[in-house]
Amino acid sequence: MTEPNPQAQWQAGGQAAGQAQWQAGGQAELALPGRWGTAWSRPVGWILDHILYRTSVAGRSNVPATGPVIFAGNHISYLDGPVMFGASPRRMHILVKKEMFAGFLGRVLTASGQLPVDRAGDRAALQRAKRVLDAGRCVGILPEGTRGSGEASAINNGVAWLALNSRATVVPVAILGTRVGAEHVDTVPPLRRRLHVSFGGAINVSRRPGETGRVSMDRAGTEIRAALARHVQDSIQRTGQPLPDADSPQERHEAVAGTPADHPIRNVQ
């Protein structure tokens, strides 16, 4: 009878434990956020929009009442995500840079169902967002990737990857007034300022027969960027609220809101 090898047993046990921890960690990263988070935080978003600020909301009827939706907004201020969240007729889970998930704010973001993302490229965050969309829910994303002019002259293709792989409807969102004039990109707008959120006409993108994944993603990104840029300009004309003055935006990250590692990202212009 062969004697058991204690070292081999210890190594096997350690490998099994390590694999179990890795699998548990991966499952936690891809787990769907609870619905209760967006339920309690929506009233908070409404208070932000209509008590702390004076936010006019247009185009809510453009948002599909059911099914997966990607809200793609322009990005000029810290407040863009929360303001879009509070104005939406549907609950959404917003992709937020992972650096924000620290301390008290991080606990609030997690509890409200928001999704952390590594702006240097984050396949897991995209896959988790896709799972949210596959469940018929809504995801919010600011595809310009960093606070800047807000004119959507260039976006990152993470939103295109999500739209193509989830077949979710994309709703462009124009956000105006959260930064005006020569205000710095780090400026928090004074309370009771008039803000504007406008939901544009829904669009759908899909792969065409014979297209490679790269060509499909670039084309979809171009279509989404054009729709967002056009809607921002239409909203400026309608509200009379211009974008902030041209400012040197923060350094752009090539894979904001992530794309899978097998899809090298490019900004769409």
Domains and CATH numbers, the chain: 12-268 (3.40.1130)
End-to-end CA distance of the chain: 71
Q: State the residue for tokens 């260039």.
A: 154
In Å, the largest CA–CA distance within the chain is 87
User: What pLDDT sits at residue 216?
Assistant: 96
Angle between helices 80-87 and 35-47 (to 10 degrees): 100
One DSSP character per residue, 153-190 reads S-EETHHHHHHHHH--EEEEEEEESSS-TT--TTPPPP
Q: What's the predicted TM-score (pTM) here?
A: 0.83
Q: Confidence class of residue 256 from pLDDT cuts 50, 70 and 90?
A: very low
Q: Confidence class of residue 122 from pLDDT cuts 50, 70 and 90?
A: confident
* Residue 213 tokens, joined: 């994944």
Across the strands, what pairs with 197? 57, 175
> What's the rounded Cα separation, in Å, for the pair 17 and 36?
32
Q: What is the pLDDT of residues 189-240, one digit of tens each?
A: 999 999 999 999 999 999 999 999 999 999 999 999 999 999 999 999 999 9
